[in-house]
Amino acid sequence: MTSQMINAAASGTWKLGDRTVNRIGFGAMRLPQTGAALSADAVPRDRDQAIGVLRRAVELGVNHIDTAAFYFSALRSANELINRALAPYPDDLVIATKVGPGRDPSGRWMEHAGPGQLRGQVEENLRQLGRDHLDVVNLRIVGTDAIAERFGALAELREAGLIRHLGLSNIRPHHLAEAQAIAPVVCVQNMYGIGASREHAEFLDLCGEQGIAFVPFYSIAGTGRETGATAGDSPEVRAVARAHGVGEAQIRLAWTLHQGAHVLPIPGTGDLDHLAQNVAAGSLRLSEDELATLDSVTHETA
Ligand SMILES: NC(=O)c1ccc[n+]([C@@H]2O[C@H](COP(=O)([O-])OP(=O)(O)OC[C@H]3O[C@@H](n4cnc5c(N)ncnc54)[C@H](OP(=O)(O)O)[C@@H]3O)[C@@H](O)[C@H]2O)c1
């Protein structure tokens, strides 16, 4: 079967709260612009192209899309594109968003939201997505500060029915424990992929033991972060890719998927061919030897 036809169901499924999703999802951060994301001088992407990618993702079985109100360029916003492309939304589609960070209308970063500002950020997502509740809201934090007040504010919005499920992003294990004393956590969204440290791998395992989804970001981009995938991968990744006749990005995703049934990657792209390849990565099976080779890259570079 060519990669153009492989469905996201090939990656298996996971229950995110009460919603079942295919493990390969999609991250919307790349859609508002071409080139580096979240940059003030980003070039807005062609609207029809972005909408085409979102619709194709859903046709390919993707039913877990990650977004944020702060994903925008001068002329496009990820939430507006999702709304335009996919509303009325399919019943099985889970849209996860993030609150905490914020950008002013010109794109400049603002101070992170305090507990009193989170309701406004949730409502901003509701308006942009055209929904009356949000499936999953992640509290995205920086640093190691206590999160109880902010997570408590989101738990109240969950009680009020504005949010179905809560998650956390960019956190350490102690944040997870702190949040769980307040309300259930269905997912942790942290940076993860080949090259991740042992400490991060242990946190991924801890989430699995607790039945919490681990949603890795930058599984392809790695240290390229907002700028995107860098040209030239490690010899190990290249060799495994060659053996399977696929691209390095697919091997990065396949390795990530092999880290546990609770791992739900959300690769981002504005390219239809890359989208199909990323979905198809869910059907790749790596051998024990290949996994060990790729693990060695992980621990050498950690
Ligand atoms: N919670 C957080 O703090 C946080 C932070 C960052 C991101 N995120 C979320 O995580 C998602 C994933 O991050 P990301 O978008 O950077 O994803 P990524 O999948 O790690 O990397 C995307 C980069 O890889 C390229 N790419 C994608 N598929 C490819 C393929 N098959 N072959 C070659 N290159 C490929 C993309 O360029 P092309 O467009 O050319 O394909 C882009 O440069 C974001 O979209 C966002 O939703 C969350």
Q: Taking residues 204-211, report their average pLDDT.
A: 98
Can you give the pLDDT at residue 130? 98
Helical (H) or strand (E) element with 175: helix 173-180
* Residues of the chain above pLDDT 90, percent: 88
**Rounded to the nearest whole angstrom, what is the distance from the C-alpha of residue 25 to the centroid of ligand 1?**
11
Q: Evaluate if residue 300 carries a pLDDT over 60.
A: no
What is the spatial distance between Cα 213 and Cα 219, in angstroms, rounded to a whole number? Answer: 15
Residue of the nearest CA to atom 43 in ligand 1? 228
Residue of the nearest CA to atom 24 in ligand 1? 229
Asked whether the whole model's pTM tops 0.95, one would answer yes
Q: How many CA atoms lie within 13 A of 137 on its CB side?
A: 29
3-state secondary structure of 102: coil
For the chain, what is the mean pLDDT?
A: 95
* Residues of the chain above pLDDT 70, percent: 97
Can you give the pLDDT at residue 69? 98
Residue 29 in contact with ligand 1 by CB distance below 6 A: yes
Residue 4 corresponds to which tokens in the numbers above? 């153009």
Can you give the pLDDT at residue 298? 63
Can you give the pLDDT at residue 145? 84
**Rounded to the nearest whole angstrom, what is the distance from the C-alpha of residue 30 to the centroid of ligand 1?**
7
Residue 154 in contact with ligand 1 by CB distance below 6 A: no
Residue 266 in contact with ligand 1 by CB distance below 6 A: yes
Active site residue 71: yes
Q: Taking residues 73-78, report their average pLDDT.
A: 97
Q: Evaluate if residue 29 carries a pLDDT over 60.
A: yes
Residue 256 in contact with ligand 1 by CB distance below 6 A: no
- Range with the poorest average pLDDT among 51-55, 134-138, 227-231: 227-231
